[in-house]
Amino acid sequence: MSLIWPQMVWALLLVPLLLAAYVALMRRRRRVPLRFSNLAMVRAALGPGHRVRRHLPPALLLLAVAVCLVALTRPSAVVMLPSEERTLILAIDVSLSMSASDIPPNRLVAAQTAAQAFIRDLPAGLQVGIVSFAGTASLVQPPTTDKQLAIDAIDRLLLDRHTAIGSAIVVSLATIFPEHGKDLDAMLFGDWRGPGGSAGQGAGVGIPGSYDSAAIILLTDGRSTTGPHPVDAAMIAAERGVRVYTVGFGTTEGATVTTEGWSMYMRFDEDSLMAIAELTGGEYYHAGTAADLRRVYDDLGSRFVLERQETELTAMFAGFAALLAMLAGLLSLRWFNRGA
């Protein structure tokens, strides 16, 4: 736990002062002589445990003051709260390298199986969209709360040539922000002029990771060979506050793929994937096996149910202090017919 106003800790010195004042008051009362003809009758009237009852309401009231003073320091802590992200775009690489069989039966099938299991486990009400990308990127399933539609869209993915990671990010952003479609299309067709150009002006919030209503998960096993540069596309996502979680699938050493009589050696660009995640406030994951990919998706799935957030606890402390003060007053009225 941390304190937003640590300078207010000095106010807690009031607690021992109040305690000392209470002890002094009790000693003063003991010095006042009282005359009773029958002390046994007085003890019977007070009942068992009268000493505890006598001091409990003031103790609760003192505790309430202490908690209230702690609230003045504006305590905060990192707690797990329900995620506010309600649209998730899953961008899946379908380039020819995904046919590599180093992850049986091949990378694409392993990725499809893991992605479908991930979607099944997502909380109800979260919209999922599917973007596939090779030489170009396309939205194969608009965001939907119908999990089966997203699962079926993943089943229909087909392999194609080249890899356009930047295009995948741009198409995902155009899906999240359809009102910015023209500006984002300009980037796809080579007219984008960078963060200071027309496509980047006034489009987003300007703080990476600040847009809590959507996120992008990008899975690839290759390096970008066409389309916008992935880091340029990530800058646009960062301007709009959208997190991009990147997953490098396959071994870092790469794999050889044979197609139409040609053998190609391919590996994913880990540095670019790390840069994309860092720029947008997301995270980079490496999944070298199908089991690794399932674990990555499990971790990502938990993020979209609960996420760690720095939360101010002032209201909680103030409410607890009010509850203690109320309890002290009720006990005092019940036992002594007066306030604490």
Q: Is residue 142 part of a domain?
A: yes
User: What residue numbers bound the domain in which 204 lies?
Assistant: 84-304
Mean pLDDT of 99-122: 90
DSSP per-residue codes, 61-89: HHHHHHHHHHHHT-EEEEEEEE----EEE
The count of domains in the chain is 2
Instruction: Give me the pLDDT at residue 333, please.
Output: 82
CA-CA distance, 191 to 10, in Å (whole number)?
59
Q: Is residue 119 part of a domain?
A: yes
Q: Is residue 160 part of a domain?
A: yes
CB 187 within 8 A of CB 233: yes
The 8-class DSSP code of residue 199 comes to: G
Q: Is the dihedral of CA 185, 188, 193, 196 positive or negative?
A: positive
Among 38-47, 54-63, 90-99, 118-127, the range of highest mean pLDDT: 90-99
User: 197 pLDDT band (50/70/90 cuts)?
Assistant: very low
Averaged pLDDT score across all residues of the chain: 81
Mean pLDDT of 168-182: 87
62 and 144 in a common domain: no
3 state DSSP class of 193: coil
7 and 139 in a common domain: no
Q: Could you tell me the CATH number of the domain that includes residue 128?
A: 3.40.50.410
Tokens, residue 276: 């994309």
273 and 294 in a common domain: yes
Q: Is residue 38 part of a domain?
A: no
Residue 42 has pLDDT above 60, yes or no: no
pLDDT in tens, 304-330: 765 556 778 888 889 999 999 899 888
User: 157 pLDDT band (50/70/90 cuts)?
Assistant: very high
CA distance to 4, 72, 139, 262, per residue, from 89 (Å): 36, 42, 9, 33
CA distance to 82, 91, 168, 236, 266, per residue, from 243 (Å): 17, 13, 14, 11, 27
Mean pLDDT of 47-52: 59
Q: Which residue has the higher pLDDT, 99 or 132?
A: 132
CA distance to 18, 257, 287, per residue, from 295 (Å): 55, 26, 8
100 and 20 in a common domain: no
Instruction: Give which of 312, 309, 305 is closest to 78, Cα–Cα.
Output: 309
CB 169 within 8 A of CB 229: no
239 and 149 in a common domain: yes
The 8-class DSSP code of residue 97 comes to: G
CA-CA distance, 117 to 3, in Å (whole number)?
41
Cite the beta strand spans of the chain per DSSP E: 2-3, 75-82, 87-93, 127-133, 137-144, 214-220, 243-249, 255-259, 262-266, 284-287, 306-312
pLDDT in tens, 280-299: 999 999 998 889 999 999 88
72 and 134 in a common domain: no
175 and 317 in a common domain: no
Q: Is residue 37 part of a domain?
A: no
Q: Is residue 263 part of a domain?
A: yes
235 Cβ contact list (under 8 Å, min separation 6): 194, 195, 200, 279
Q: Is residue 137 part of a domain?
A: yes
Instruction: Give which of 137, 212, 142, 206 is closest to 167, Cα–Cα.
Output: 137
276 and 213 in a common domain: yes
275 and 126 in a common domain: yes
Residue 23 has pLDDT above 90, yes or no: no
Q: Is residue 226 part of a domain?
A: yes
157 and 23 in a common domain: no
Tokens, residue 79: 């707690």
What φ, ψ does residue 161 adopt, rounded to 5°?
-80, 155
Mean pLDDT of 214-242: 92
User: 183 pLDDT band (50/70/90 cuts)?
Assistant: low
328 and 233 in a common domain: no
Among 82-91, 155-164, 253-262, 300-309, the range of highest mean pLDDT: 155-164
102 and 173 in a common domain: yes
